[in-house]
Each structure stands twice: as C-alpha cells, then as structure tokens.
Amino acid sequence: MKKITMSDIARIAGVSKATVSMVLNKKDENISEETKNRILNIAKEMNYIPNSVARSLSTKKSSTIGIIVPDITNPYFSEVSRAVEDSANIFGYNVILCNSDNETEKEEKYVELLISKLVDGVIFAVGGHNTRGIELLQENSIPFVLLDRHVEGFENLYGVYCENQLGVVQGVEYLYENGKRNIVFVKGPGDIEIAKQRLSGYKLTMEKYGIYNENFVYESDFTMQGGKNVTEKIINEIEKIDAIFYSNDAMAVGGMKVLLRNGYKVPDDISIMGFDNIQISEFVEPELTTIGQPIYEMGRESCRLLIDIINNVDVEKKEIYFKPQLIKRGTA
Amino acid sequence: MKKITMSDIARIAGVSKATVSMVLNKKDENISEETKNRILNIAKEMNYIPNSVARSLSTKKSSTIGIIVPDITNPYFSEVSRAVEDSANIFGYNVILCNSDNETEKEEKYVELLISKLVDGVIFAVGGHNTRGIELLQENSIPFVLLDRHVEGFENLYGVYCENQLGVVQGVEYLYENGKRNIVFVKGPGDIEIAKQRLSGYKLTMEKYGIYNENFVYESDFTMQGGKNVTEKIINEIEKIDAIFYSNDAMAVGGMKVLLRNGYKVPDDISIMGFDNIQISEFVEPELTTIGQPIYEMGRESCRLLIDIINNVDVEKKEIYFKPQLIKRGTA
DNA sequence: CTGAAAGCGCTTACAG
DNA sequence: CTGAAAGCGCTTACAG
C-alpha cells in the first residue's frame, strides 16, 4: 500500500498541492470554505499523514529538540527528561533522547546526529570534561541550553541550574545544628562540575566551623552501586562517624543499605543526607533526608527557555538558578 | 554562518555532487583515490555534517526507530529503553522516545508523529486498551515489535515478552512451600494484558491448593505510590496475612514501606514478593525477593528483532518469550 | 572514472 | 481564490 501524499489529495480534490498545503497548515485565509472542506475531508478519509521530513527539508525546522543526558536509567535524569518531554509536547515539539554515559565522544557523536537531523535546539546535561559538543553546537548556530551542569570556559551560555553549593551548605548546617561533627562527605566523579560545586559547599561550611578534614571526603560515581562500595570503604576506614552526606540520593540509597546491613541504626547511630530528592528517596525506610531540587520545574524551564531562544523571543536571564530546599525526613 | 552542503564541497573540489555523495557514503569503488581523498579532506576541514533529513527524503529511510512506553520515569521502562537505545546505536539507528502514560490518544498521536518522521520501525509497549495505534502502524506498513505487553485481538504480531503467568506461579509456589497460606495478591491496572496474565498465575496456583479467595486480590497501578496506598487498605481490611505478592517491584517497594512503618517485621511477620527485578529492588532493606525479568536482554532482543524485520531478514520466531526467574532475597 | 538530471514530498513567494 | 514553479539537500539510475 503506497503512502498517500499531498499530490494525491490535490489530484483527487482537483486543486494544486499548494492549495492543499495551505489548508492543511491552516494558512487558509484565502481559501474558499468549500475547497477547504473538500480537502480536509479527503485528507481525513484517506488517513493522510503528512511527511514531516519533506516539510523539514523545506522549512529548515524540524519541531524536534534533542536532549543529551548521561544515563536515562538514573532517576534524576529520567525525571528531568520526562519533564522536558511533557513541556516540549505542549509547545508542539518532540524529543530525541541521547545517553552519553558521561563520555565526551558519545556527546560529540550525538551532537552531530542531532544537527544532521536538523533539530531546532538541544538540552544538554554535559557529562564529559571535553567540550567539543558545545563548540559544534555553536559553530552550527544550534540553540541550546545547559541543564544541571555548568560548563567552565564558556561565557554567556544559556542554562538552568540548581544552586548546588548553597544546598550543601544548608545540609551541613542542619547536621551541625543537630550536633554532628564528624561528617563524611561523598562527592561525585572528579571532573563533573556539580560534583565540585557540592564539595565546595561542604568544605566551606566545615571550614567555617573549623572541623574540615580532608580525610573525610570520599569520591564515588553518583550511582547506587557506587554508594554501596564507597560506604563499605568508609566504615572500614573511619572509626567515629556522626553523619554521611552523600552528594546525591542514588549514592545515599546504596550507602544506607550498607549501613543498615552492618547494624548501624539510622539516624540514631549515624545520620544520612542525600541530594536531589528523587522519587525513591521517599520510599526507602527510613525516608531519606535530602536537599531537594525542583527536578520537574528545572526540566520544564529548560525546555521553555530553549523554545524562547528558538523563537527569538527576548529572554531576560540567560541563566536560571533554582534554589534547593532542605527536606527533613527520617535519616537526619 | 551558513550551513555547508554537498554542493559546496562539490564546487570546491571541482566535481559534481553525485561524486561527493558517493565518496561520503562509501559507494566509492569507482572513484579515483585522488578525488576521494580530496573530497574527504575538504569535508573534514569544513566540518561538514550531512543533512540527514534530505537523505531520508530521498531514500525513504531515516535510520531512526521510535519507542513508545508508558512512562520513562518507571524504572522498568527506563531500563528497557536504555537497552533499546544501546542496541539501536550499535546497528546505526537512533531512537525517538515517547511516553504514553498508558493513554490511547497519546499512543495514537505518537504513532502518527513517528510515521510522519519516517521512522524505520517502532518498539511499542502498549498501555491503552484501544488499538488504533497498532492499526495505524499496519496501515502504513511500518515494521513494529511489541514489547512486554501482548495485545489481544491481533494475530501474528512480532513481540518480545516475559512469561508472566509462569513467573507468578513460581513465586506463589515458593511462598506456599515456605508455609504461607494467606497470600494477598496485588494486581496491576485492569485492562493491561500483563496485569491479567500475572493475576492468572496467582489464581491458578492458589486454586490448585484450594486456597484461592477473591477477597485477597487487590488492584493498584504499578507505581510506588500506588503500592503504598493499596497496602494501607490491605492491612486495614485483612487480619491475618502471611505474604503479599505485588505484581511489580515498584508497588512492592511502596508497600514494604507501609508495612515497616506499621511495625511489621519483614519477612518474619509477613513476606513480600515482587516482580521485575528492577535495580532498586536490590537496594531496599531488606532486599526484595522477586521474580526477575531479563530486562536488558528483552530490550536488546526487541531491537534486534525489529532491525531484522526492517532489513527483511527471515526471523524464525515472531514471538520471543523470556523466562522469568525467582530471585530469592530478603523479603520472603 | 565522473557528471547531468530527475526525484523524494513538502513550502513559499509570485502571478494572475 | 488558486496554480505554476522553484527550491530545500540529498541519492540514484543512466549515460558517456
């Protein structure tokens, strides 16, 4: 069964395809009611589905945006992607999803792919430390907005972020107020910007109270498994621990497991603090005390911002910062 | 800065764009080494990125597949999507992701979108009960494979499934062997095929032992929050419960939380069984005993199958069934 | 070994 | 109120 095209409809309706195109695209001020209805009916009857590839080639726009995240399997990114998709849909865009695994090469490959697909813009949670992907986007004049992760070395990029440092400061203050002094911090992977920002919040506050000790800083990879591994190391190496501040929830969930397994009472023996407020943090027992990011809002805003840029509407601020919020629950 | 095209390269290299096209697509048996290198160098130097939209229009293929799932935020689907994306990439395809929220209209809308984008095929985890989406795919001769969820009323569709009924049978048997008799079952949303299949496994086995009681069957929506809600209901309404079999892990995680909160010891007072073996099931405490699906393999196979169909290679079996596996952990 | 030409299915000035 | 024509950037027979 051959796919039906505008020409088919035009032929059947006895008009030109220009006319068909116009009525199907609602640019029909000058088309008589009669022709309009005739065309609409035929299109409907034949289940006509426009070929948007042809349309894109002609208009140079695709009504598609790309989103590049490290890993959709990470709840933070699945939630934020979901938000992006929802808002994109509202504005008539659809989204191509790309998992970079924090690898620069994959990022680059995907950026090329997206450009070649004529995406109208991209939302980019940069994982790698190299920035070829961003340069490519710039060279090809593709609008893009950074999400979650700031990128050093560039001025004036659009972006939607959370005030990571502030969040950790709040968290550490809260632990301190509750009498915790031996606070271990688990940072994220070395070269990722948010990992550094969160660490700096910890360092700042601990130094302020004169209790910073670099041996209390551990590194892991933002995954549950990583949280598990690092926690085994921590309880082996440090004798007295009042609290562990995991710089994301996934690691906290993994870590809490190890603590409970080893007979620690949470939060009596040891407090736990996470970061993100992903869905699952409310469902573990005890519930995770964490620094909440407005994940859905961030996804939504990044999409709105991108679409504004695409449409050349003036945006007041190139960078949008969301405030994190301490969410007191059962683990601290 | 204007995007550079094949014509540009052709002009600079002093050849026709046909020649450029051929060397860039490795159909270059008949092109002299010299011209070939000249073209390749120019393309590289100018950072040429081919316009794949134009290519698609011309070839009628897009090297893109669509995947429609209920909700990427659901770990089962994020894991399976990830698997699909990984394998698609290996074969040179990329993927457009669509969240249907189990709504028929969204499914339909997305199917149209995917068709209009000229996707080469789609992987479809059908949520709604209506099947217009499938009909559309068929009418337009788009290859597709069903994933996870069988659809009634159609013969001969390609699909990758898990033997849901068998899985639940195994689970109930295991509980029975361990002396559990008052086994509550939480099924999934009414009209979803896998919900029915899993329920039937429960009913079958319970009847076999003469202990089936329809008051012990509850319904929820496959989410953590749903698991929480239904569990509150269950412990209010039923006095003596030996075990709760949640028909997916998300509900089990939510449910376990409620049980622990209400002072039940798991698994001493009450056993819990889940279904899926999503990542998180290993990280809750106690670890969830569950019926594991080979999620990643299922995603991978559905993609492989789809690509075989696209390429017209003969496939032995239209339906691939994976065997679930009882994973004994801490909750039962 | 390479080029000219048609075609993919649309959109968009322009003309009448 | 509507049509003819060019163009988007590719690919693919066909010809030489």
**pLDDT, tens digit (0-9, with 9 covering 90-100), for B149-169:** 988 888 889 999 999 999 999
With b for 16 or more beta-carbon neighbours within 10 A and e for fewer, the A209-247 pattern comes to eeebeeebebebbbbbebbbbbbeebbeeeeebbbbbbb
A317 touches strand D (CB under 7 A): no
Helix (H, G, I), strand (E, B) or coil at A205: helix
Write down the pLDDT at residue A201. 96
Residue B3: DSSP 8-state: P
What are the beta bridge partners of residue A326?
A: A291
Distance between CA atoms of residues B145 and A86, nearest Å: 25
For residue A185, the cross-strand partners are A217, A245
Phi, psi of B236, rounded to the nearest 5 degrees: -80, -35
CA–CA separation, A256 and A246 (whole Å): 10
Instruction: Evaluate if the CB of A281 falls below 7 Å from strand D.
Output: no
Q: At what angle do helices B132-139 and B104-116 cross, to 10 degrees?
A: 20
Judge if A315 and A278 occupy the same domain: no
CA dist B216 to B1, B213, B231, B276, Å?
68, 6, 12, 21
**Among A57, A94, A113, beta carbon nearest to B57:** A57
A82 and A135 in one domain? Answer: yes
Decide: A248 and A290 in contact? Cβ < 8 Å. no
Interatomic CA distance for residues A326 and A199, integer angstroms: 17
Q: Among A95, A40, A30, A90, which residue's Cα sits nearest to residue A69?
A: A95
Give the pLDDT mean for A257-272: 94
Q: Do strands A183-187 and B217-219 pair parallel, antiparallel, or not at all (unpaired)?
A: unpaired
In-domain check, residue A56: no
The answer to whether residue A126 scores a pLDDT higher than 60 is yes
Lowest mean pLDDT among A14-28, A241-255, A286-300: A14-28
Q: What is the mean pLDDT of residues B14-29?
A: 84
Instruction: Find chain A residues with C-beta within 8 A of B51's C-beta.
Output: 57, 116, 118
For residue A296, is pLDDT > 80?
yes
* Residue B58 domain-assigned (yes or no): no
pLDDT of residue A34: 83
Q: Which segments of chain A does DSSP mark as H helices, in order? A: 6-13, 17-24, 33-45, 52-59, 75-90, 104-116, 132-139, 164-177, 193-208, 224-237, 249-261, 295-310
C-beta neighbour count of B290 within 10 angstroms: 29
Mean pLDDT of A280-291: 94
Residue B35: predicted pLDDT: 84
CA distances from A279 to A76, A244, A252, B286 (A): 9, 20, 13, 19
In the prediction, which pLDDT does B150 show? 87
Q: How far apart are CA A80 and CA A276, in angstroms?
A: 11
**Structural domain contains residue B55:** no
pLDDT above 70 covers a percentage of chain B that reads 99
**Amino acid letter, residue B141:** S
Strand D positions closer than 7 A to protein CB: 1-5, 7-13
What 3-state class would DSSP assign to A38?
helix
A5 touches strand D (CB under 7 A): no
Provide the residue type at B115 as one letter. I
Contacts for A9 with CB less than 8 Å, ≥ 6 apart: A17, A20, A39, A42, A43, A46, A48
What average pLDDT does the segment A75-96 reach?
93
In this complex, do A56 and B53 lie within 8 Å of one another by their Cβ atoms? Answer: yes
Domain-located, residue B56: no
Distance in angstroms (rounded) separating the CA atoms of residues B129 and B193: 9
Q: Would you place residue A222 in the very low, low, confident or very high pLDDT band (cuts 50, 70, 90)? A: very high
| Nucleotide D2, nearest residue via CA and C1' | A19
> What is the pLDDT averaged over residues B12-30?
84
Mean pLDDT over each residue of chain B, to the nearest integer: 92
Give the pLDDT mean for B306-319. 91
Quote the pLDDT of residue A1. Answer: 55
More confident residue, A124 or B7: A124
Provide the pLDDT for residue A192.
85
Helix (H) or strand (E) run with residue B64 in it: strand B64-69
A55: tokens are: 């349309």
Q: How confident is the model at residue A62 (pLDDT cuts 50, 70, 90)?
A: very high
- How big is chain B, counted in residues? 332
Same domain, B97 and B31: no
* A68 and A41 in a common domain: no
Does residue A46 sit within a domain?
Answer: yes
Instruction: Answer for B94: CB within 7 Å of strand D.
Output: no
Rg of the Cα atoms in chain A: 25
- Give the 3-state secondary structure of residue A303: helix
**With 70 as the cut, is the pLDDT of residue B1 above it?**
no
Same domain, B128 and B188: no
Q: Is residue A80 part of a domain?
A: yes
The parent domain of residue B118 ranges over 63-162+295-323
Together in a domain, B283 and B198: yes
Give me the CA B78–C1' C9 separation in Å, rounded: 35
Q: What is the pLDDT of residue B278?
A: 95
Best probe of the B interface among A285, A329, A331, by most B CBs < 10 A, is A285
Contact flag B95-A99 (C-beta cutoff 8 Å): no
CATH number of B42's domain: 1.10.260.40
Q: Kindly state whether residue B38 falls inside one of the protein's structural domains.
A: yes
- State the pLDDT confidence band at B129, using cuts at 50, 70 and 90: confident
- The alpha carbon of B277 is separated from its chain's Cα centroid by a whole number of angstroms, namely 14
**Do residue A145 and residue A69 come from a single domain?**
yes
Residues A224, A263 within the same domain:
yes
The H-or-E segment that residue A246 falls in is: strand A243-246
Same domain (yes/no): A289, A317: no
- CATH of residue A117's domain is 3.40.50.2300
A3: nt with nearest C1' to CA: C9
Cα(A115)–Cα(A7) distance, integer angstroms: 30
B330 occurs within a structural domain: no
| H or E, element range at B256 | helix B249-261
Structure confidence by residue, pLDDT tens digits, B246-276: 999 999 999 999 999 999 999 999 999 999 9
> In the prediction, which pLDDT does B4 show?
86
Q: How far apart are CA A147 and CA A65, in angstroms?
A: 14
Partnered with residue A184 across adjacent β-strands are A244
Which string of DSSP letters, residue by residue, matches A227-245?
A: HHHHHHHHHHH-S--SEEE
Mutate which: B4, B91, B229, B283, vs A, most A CBs within 10 A: B283
pLDDT tens across B60-104, in order?
Answer: 999 999 999 999 999 999 999 999 999 999 998 989 989 999 899
Residue located via tokens 């736990």: A272
Contact criterion met (CB < 8 Å) for A1 and B71: no
Number of folded domains that form chain A: 3
Shared domain check, B282 and B208: yes
pLDDT for the residue numbered B246? 97
Q: Which of A211, A187, A191 is nearest to A199 (CA)?
A: A187
Which of the two residues, B193 and A173, has the higher pLDDT score? A173
Over residues B185-240, the pLDDT tens digits come to 999 998 788 999 999 999 999 999 999 999 999 999 999 999 999 999 999 999 99
Q: Are B174 and B283 found together in one domain? A: yes
Residues B186 and B245 in one domain: yes
CA–C1' A55–C11 (A): 7
Which residue did the predictor score with more confidence, A92 or A174?
A174
CB B228 within 8 A of CB B160: no
* pLDDT (0 to 100) of residue B130: 75
Q: How confident is the model at residue A301 (pLDDT cuts 50, 70, 90)?
A: very high
DSSP assigned state of A144: E
Report the gap between the CA of B272 and the closest CA in chain A (Å): 15
On whether the CB atoms of residues A305 and A270 are closer than 8 A, the answer is no
How much is the pTM? 0.92
Query: Which DSSP string corresponds to A86-128?
Result: HHHHHTT-EEEEEE-TT-HHHHHHHHHHHHHTT-SEEEE---S
